Amino acid sequence: MDNRVRVLEVRNVTRRFGGLVAVNDMSFDVHEQEVMGLIGPNGSGKTTMMNLISGALRVSGGDIMMDDQLISDMPARHIARAGVARTFQLVRMLPTMTALENVMAGAVFGHKKLWGRALQVHAMRQLERVGMGTSAHLPTSALTYIDQKRVELARALAANPRIILLDEWLAGLNPTELRTGIELIADLRAEGRTIILVEHVMDAIRSLCDRCVVMNTGRKIAEGTPAEVLSDDEVIRAYLGD
Ligand code: ADP
């Protein structure tokens, strides 16, 4: 019997944009302490799927459950409270606010309610966690790109999420930064965080993911370990056709 704890359940989810079916009857589970890679060629529906989970977009059909609670009919802020945190493909932060203030903002909207001094201490701990403790009082606009990404990760962690959605968090990093970034995610994995990783960097997928779901033209075309899906004929064809 499968005794892993299911955190997220996506059941027959579809999303249409006019005549275009961006996500087509997708179903998958994410288990506690698992890093699940959501991969596929450009335009296959990955970002749309992330937006449906976080509530930035509404489903056209199907259900998304979080800890057996229906979240796909909730507004995004309630989904965040239920324990879904995300980072964005392009860093989205309040540039004039300090790193610490940005992370505190993440905690306020998150899963666990904290105020005042406790909030500040908690936010500081998350910054230290990603190696940004000494930059806590700098405005995020003064930080390098990778450091902004670290702060964004700290902000997601600050929400004490049940699941973290990392949408191409490694995109745009140079090779040295990429190694640092992969190590950082590996640390989160070792801590037993539950993560959905949307990623193009194959090295990251191979080294970080326990399991992958592969999308093409809105549909799931494969599911399995990175080694299994990356040697699957249909997956190879989908990528070559990209
Ligand atoms: P991926 O993240 O895998 O690159 P996306 O989810 O961004 O794929 O896009 C899937 C499909 O949905 C693409 O054909 C894209 O053009 C389309 N799409 C995404 N967002 C919108 C939108 N807001 N309006 C119309 N079409 C969209």
- Can you spell out the DSSP letters for 115-146? -HHHHHHHHHHHHHHTT-GGGTTSBGGGS-HH
Q: Which CATH architecture has domain 6-83+162-240?
A: 3-Layer(aba) Sandwich (3.40)
- Ligand 1 center–CA 221 separation, angstroms: 17
**Nearest atom, ligand 1, residue 50 CA:** 6
- Kindly report the protein residue whose alpha carbon is nearest to atom 14 of ligand 1: 43
Predicted-complex ipTM score: 0.98
For 68-73, which contacts have Cβ atoms below 8 Å and span 24 or more sequence positions?
68/6, 68/9, 72/13
Domain edges within the chain:
6-83+162-240, 95-159
pLDDT band at 57 (very low <50, low <70, confident <90, very high): very high
**Nearest atom, ligand 1, residue 18 CA:** 25
CA dist 67 and 161 (Å) reads 12
pLDDT tens, position by position, 11-35: 999 999 999 999 999 999 999 999 9
- Can you spell out the DSSP letters for 56-89? SS--SEEEEEETTEE-TTS-HHHHHHHTEEEE-S
Q: What is the pLDDT of residue 94?
A: 72
Residues with CB under 6 A from ligand 1: 17, 20, 22, 40, 42-48
pLDDT band at 112 (very low <50, low <70, confident <90, very high): low
